[in-house]
Amino acid sequence: MNRFLSLAVTSAVILSASPALAHARLVSATPGDGATVAAPQTISLTFSERFAAPFSTIELVDGRGRLVALTKTVSEDGKTLGGSFAAPLSTGSYRVTWAIAAADGHRMTGTYSFTVR
């Protein structure tokens, strides 16, 4: 009976832990949240898991609320979402809004700001 109980508890823990392990999260961003940087020509966000590139987006809005044109990029390992600009960003504040569809089917979004000096 004791042995049966401990087996049951073990499988319950494994079942509840699996989805959390597969959950993607933002690991790092360049420029980072709240950073002040010299005119970048690209931005990039690295996640803990692969995401589905066609269902993932990245947007940049300047301090006046204007959308900045960018070319979306996805790294070969499928974990880094990026944007590259035709010209380096000019001085001001910017807000990044991202959305990814993780491999486990969860959709995640986030937003953060940085400043170009």
Least separation in angstroms between CB 90 and Cu ion? 37
The answer to whether 81 and 47 are in contact (CB under 8 A) is: yes
Reference 31, options 16, 48, 17, 43; nearest CA is: 43
50 interacts with Cu ion by CB under 5 A: no
Query: How far is Cα 57 from Cα 77, in angstroms, rounded to an integer?
Result: 17
Residue 94 or 98: the one with the smaller Cβ distance to Cu ion is: 98
Least separation in angstroms between CB 105 and Cu ion? 7
Residues 9-48 touching Cu ion, rule: CB under 5 A, are: 23
Residue 54 or 65: the one with the smaller Cβ distance to Cu ion is: 54
The CA distances from residue 91 to 30, 64, 65, 94, 115, in Å, are 17, 12, 14, 9, 7
Residue 23 or 79: the one with the smaller Cβ distance to Cu ion is: 23
Residues linked to residue 44 through DSSP beta bridges, in sequence order: 30, 82
* Size of interface with Cu ion, in residues (CB under 5 A): 3
Residues 79-108 touching Cu ion, rule: CB under 5 A, are: 104, 106
Interface with Cu ion (CB under 5 A): 23, 104, 106
